[in-house]
Amino acid sequence: MKQGKQGKLCVSLAGPDAETMYHQVEPLLDQVDVVEIRLDSMVKVDICDCCSCIHKPLLFTNRPLWEGGACDASEEKRIDPLLEAIQQDVAYVDFELRADQRLRQQLLAAADMTSTQIVLSWHNFENTPPQAELDKVLAQMMENDAPAGKIIGKIVTTAHTWEDALRVLWLQEQAKAANFPLSCFCMGDPGRITRLATLYLGGYMTYICLHDAQATAPGQLSLKQLKKLTGLLA
């Protein structure tokens, strides 16, 4: 994938420990740009192990139950491994737009001393809201006092029709006008095309799985599928 012309390719990994995830992704590391570690899938959370064995820019996500993840810890406990990841100067950590703003500021303050960027994420697992609501979500992401480029937006909805997919992709034009890095695409079968299209429409990053059986979200494309599609457009 030619950098600068297409968005980044992020493979999402779920597994009980760092060693398991490393063995999953190691043969394909040269084909992706970023590796997402789903901390909420791990039995043994070890940030240092992940950083030492997976030599690629890492994105750490600890998704709570209330946003479709598996972490049932308190919010204060949930951000502990994210803070540890920032101390390790990882490439990215994910934090939800709906989460406590006080905790977001805590992460931003820690990240200010490192090169870590915060992926500020928002998911809708039921549908795709009207355009006005999507615009409001994007505006909330952009309304922050973080240094330019410190925050990357991520807006993901569930598409039931092709109109849903178009509404989400439209957000890329607004983000570009504001010089705000944004990843946006849709879950669900009608939204699968957005996972490819966003790469060519200014999207910062799209998320894939290694194999269909390891998908971490509905409608997620596998690395093999996306590589085949991008090859056709090369």
d(CA 135, CA 147): 22
171 half-sphere exposure, CB direction, 13 A CA radius: 35
Residue at 73: amino acid letter: A
Residue indicated by tokens 């992401």: 141
Burial class (CB in 10 A: 0-12, 13-18, 19+), 230: middle
d(CA 159, CA 126): 8
d(CA 27, CA 74): 36
Residue indicated by tokens 């101390």: 87
123 is catalytic: yes
Q: Are 214 and 41 in contact (CB under 8 A)?
A: no
174 sits in which H/E element: helix 162-177
154 is catalytic: yes
- What lies within 8 Å, CB to CB, of 13 at 6+ separation is 21, 24, 25, 35, 36, 37, 38, 210, 214
Q: Which of 56, 77, 154, 228 is catalytic?
A: 154
d(CA 176, CA 198): 12
Q: Which of 2, 123, 136, 150 is catalytic?
A: 123
Which residues does the annotation mark as catalytic? Answer: 123, 154
